[in-house]
Structure 1
Amino acid sequence: MPTERADHPARHLGWEIARSIAGQVCLHAAMAGARLATALLALSQGYSNAAVGALVAQFALMQVFLSLPAGRFADRHGLKRPVTCSVIAATTGLCLAAAWPIYPVLCLSALLCGGATGTAAIALQRHVGRLARSPAQLRTVFTWVATAPAMAIVIGPAAAGFIIDRAGFRAAFLIMALWPVAAWLLSRMAAEGAAAGTGGKAAGTTWELLRAPYMSVLLLMNLFMSISWELHAFMVPVLGHERGLHASQIGTILACCAAGVAAVRVAVPLFAARLAEWLLITLAVALAGVLIIAYPFAPSTLAMCAASTLIGMTLGCVQPMVLSMLHQITPAERQGEALAIRMMTVNASAVTIPIVLGAVSAISGPASVFLVTGIVALAGSTLGRRLRSAPRQT
């Protein structure tokens, strides 16, 4: 049993989770608000949609390249030092945007905020995962932690828009620069175990970690989930536009997906002790494939809302199960690195999948993209059965 788990009585787990969720919400909300503010500012300055798209993409781009070093850094130093570095980077980026609100500086701010959020998320996920004392606790912990980005995506843009309307862009950036400081204060109260901060280097290479049979299968299942998620977020507006739906109708459809995610993540902890991660992951990816195949045949906006809710519920339960299983099949000294690999693949798909889907849909239409992606997810879900006999280190 890792030292960190033994150092934390079970009664403290709830407070550690609450602090971790609050800290992640503060950092993620700052990034989400900055993403909206930078996009609106660039548009108001006359930049093209392509330039704004490139700007927004940089929030995810930095995480692709920084995730692996961030994971190793967390393995060596635990929670507090990575969060401190993340807070410095995010605050610096937001203050620079407030001081010099020009496109090149906004790009730098996006890189700093995106990299900071990813680095802190890896450290926080590693921290709470090492506090859990059983597989059931792991599932519950990661389900609650997964609610943080969902809350942040609501809080950040809403607050940023409110401040921009009343005080302008500079004030919005400055106020959002205070949010990471709150995350730092929360991290200082964390009770970090003795296993962190040893400064030791994990044995083996990243390639060896990737070649581990169960690791590669789990990451593939996570990739199918990410592709399905990006498909829904990007292609629903395209399909809705093709059908002549109003913007409010398309927004409602996407909101139904978010509601499904929130609902399932609240419900999972209630029966986490009776769940088998491999089975839930396999069934969820398979069901997502079926729903994606059926999506273009939804006859009405109401049917699309129902399908979006089901897709949100299906995909929303996968991430906590992947994180739980990742901690169980990975050596304790390399859990940060494993989390980093997962985050790197997620962010790489966030950068590349919309570009690929946009190009394919322009040639063959939105419906064919749904069909092909659904078939791929459905076929790929069969790999999940290989996780049934995965060794677990609890």
Structure 2
Amino acid sequence: MTGLRMAAPLDALARGATPWRVGVLLALFAAAPVLLAMTAGRLADRWGFHRPVHIAGGLCCAGLLLAAVSAAFQGWPAGALLAAGAVAAGAGANIGLIAVQRTGGLTARDPVERVRVFSWLGIAPSLANVIGPVTVGLLIDAAGFGVAYAALLVLPLASLLAARAVPVAAAPGRARDGGSAPLGELFALPGMKRLLAVNWLLSMCWDVHSFAVPILGHERGFSATTIGLVLGSFTLSVTGVRVLIPLLARHLQPARVVAGAMLGTALIFAVYPLVTQPWLMGACAVALGVTLGCVQPMLMTVLHHLTPEDRHGQALAFRSMTINGSSTVMPLLFGAAGAAIGAASMFWIVGALVGSGAWLARRLRA
């Protein structure tokens, strides 16, 4: 999905698409998970791991095939095929991710092991954001878009092959109703609204960093390579901290870690716009990777604790909706705000919001 998400906009631009159409194409990758998140959660609650993962692999394969076929067309048929591919790949990746996360949480035997499991699972998206775009970029330069899309088919097929090694567990009996219980009951669980609010604040930090760093770098006259290295150092830092967390899991209390991470993020956001040297921006990106990278395993652990076993999939879907909804809407708001008040002010406003929200994270412990 990340490879296709990088390649499809480049393909559309090469065909003469307007920036607005490219923006719509990118939004489709996140819009599909928002619309289908609860369906994905119910699938996982009802059927467990294997059936949702098979559906996810099928959708990702379909999305890549549609994109590959688009290389043979020009004009609106190519655009329509790319758009359909974006919807299929975005939906498939989200369905698979929810099933994997749900199964991982249920496999853990205690809260400490659960933190370790979610840290291991959190490494995968970080690596995917590097491997997918780099791989497809090399393939595009070597053989063109059609070959790149077709070659990416190896990845979902490899996922389906790897899934065969996961033990088949009985589908949870209490969820055989397909998740027909009112979603309001899930939202009303003690601590759930607090957790989702914290999750949204931290997701907004990821979005503003991805959006504003290229703008700051451009304002300071940095090259594209330098800006890419700053963003890459953030990704590597996220991956590194998620490798370390399993070693420290026994000594970590999720609510305290999340509250500390929110305060640390607010401090980094206060400093980030003031630095003017590339290496200092890189240092801020590394520090931000530590604070934001440690949050996901902790929030997933708390979410698992708050939710009844037969509704873990729907709870994960709620979380997915907040993340993908933020990724769909916030860049539009950031674009309007950036034009009005500048990128630096966005850092400070979001930093103030996430810092003031740290008290919500401390209350998660209660």
Q: Report Cα offsets for 1:147-188 as digits up to 9, x if no partner.
A: 001111111111112222222211111121232121112212
The structural deviation recorded for 1:64 is: 0.6
Structure 1 partner of 2:9: 39
Q: Report Cα offsets for 1:372-394 as digits up to 9, x if no partner.
A: 111111001111121112xxxxx
The correspondence for 1:187, drawn from 163, 177, 201, is 163
The correspondence for 1:205, drawn from 163, 182, 195, is 182
Question: C-alpha distance in 1, partners of 2:211/2:188?
Answer: 31
Within the alignment, does 1:357 sit opposite 2:334 as a pair?
yes
Within the alignment, does 1:316 sit opposite 2:293 as a pair?
yes
Q: 1:202 to 1:89 in 2, by over 3 A?
A: closer
Within the alignment, does 1:143 sit opposite 2:113 as a pair?
no
Supply the AA of the counterpart residue of 1:106.
L
Q: Report Cα offsets for 1:100-154 as digits up to 9, x if no partner.
A: 3311110000000000000000000001110000000000000000000111111
Structure 2 partner of 1:371: 348
Which runs of at least 4 in structure 1 moved beyond 4 Å after TM superposition? none
Structure 1 partner of 2:214: 237
Supply the AA of the counterpart residue of 1:169.
F
The structural deviation recorded for 1:193 is: 2.4
Question: C-alpha distance in 1, partners of 2:290/2:323?
Answer: 19
Map residues 115-134 of structure 1 onto 2, 5 A cutoff.
Answer: 115-134=91-110
Structure 1 partner of 2:132: 156
The structural deviation recorded for 1:66 is: 0.7
Aligned residues: 359
Q: Which runs of 5+ in 2 are unaligned?
A: 72-77
Map residues 255-334 of structure 1 onto 2, 5 A cutoff.
Answer: 255-334=232-311
**Retained in 1: the 8 A contact 2:189–2:306?**
no
Within the alignment, does 1:97 sit opposite 2:73 as a pair?
no
CA RMSD of aligned residues (A): 1.4
The structural deviation recorded for 1:79 is: 0.6
Within the alignment, does 1:74 sit opposite 2:39 as a pair?
no
Question: C-alpha distance in 1, partners of 2:62/2:22?
Answer: 21
The structural deviation recorded for 1:196 is: 3.6
Question: C-alpha distance in 1, partners of 2:357/2:155?
Answer: 40
Question: C-alpha distance in 1, partners of 2:169/2:250?
Answer: 25
Question: C-alpha distance in 2, partners of 1:234/1:66?
Answer: 25
SS in structure 2 opposite 1:213?
A: coil
Q: Report Cα offsets for 1:189-236 as digits up to 9, x if no partner.
A: 211322447624447321221122311111111111100111111001
**Retained in 1: the 8 A contact 2:123–2:239?**
yes
Question: C-alpha distance in 2, partners of 1:351/1:328?
Answer: 28
**Retained in 1: the 8 A contact 2:69–2:81?**
no
The correspondence for 1:172, drawn from 141, 145, 148, is 148
Alignment TM-score, normalising by the size of structure 2: 0.95
Question: C-alpha distance in 2, partners of 1:98/1:297?
Answer: 44
Name the stretch that deviates more: 121-130 or 235-244.
235-244
Structure 1 partner of 2:53: 83
The correspondence for 1:59, drawn from 2, 26, 29, is 29
Structure 2 partner of 1:12: none
Q: Report Cα offsets for 1:223-271 as digits up to 9, x if no partner.
A: 1110011111100111111222222221121112112101111111111
Q: 1:41 to 1:219 in 2, by over 3 A?
A: same
Alignment TM-score, normalising by the size of structure 1: 0.88
The structural deviation recorded for 1:40 is: 1.5
Q: 1:131 to 1:177 in 2, by over 3 A?
A: same
Supply the AA of the counterpart residue of 1:91.
C
Supply the AA of the counterpart residue of 1:116.
G
Supply the AA of the counterpart residue of 1:211.
A
Supply the AA of the counterpart residue of 2:56.
S
**Retained in 1: the 8 A contact 2:172–2:310?**
no
Question: C-alpha distance in 2, partners of 1:157/1:239?
Answer: 23
Structure 2 partner of 1:10: none
Question: C-alpha distance in 1, partners of 2:251/2:272?
Answer: 31
Supply the AA of the counterpart residue of 1:318.
V
Q: Report Cα offsets for 1:84-110 as digits up to 9, x if no partner.
A: 111111111211221233111100000
Structure 2 partner of 1:223: 200
The structural deviation recorded for 1:50 is: 2.1
Structure 2 partner of 1:382: 359
Q: Which runs of 5+ in 1 are unaligned?
A: 1-30, 390-394
Question: C-alpha distance in 2, partners of 1:104/1:223?
Answer: 32
Supply the AA of the counterpart residue of 2:20.
A
**Retained in 1: the 8 A contact 2:48–2:170?**
no
The percentage of counterpart residues that share the same residue type is 39
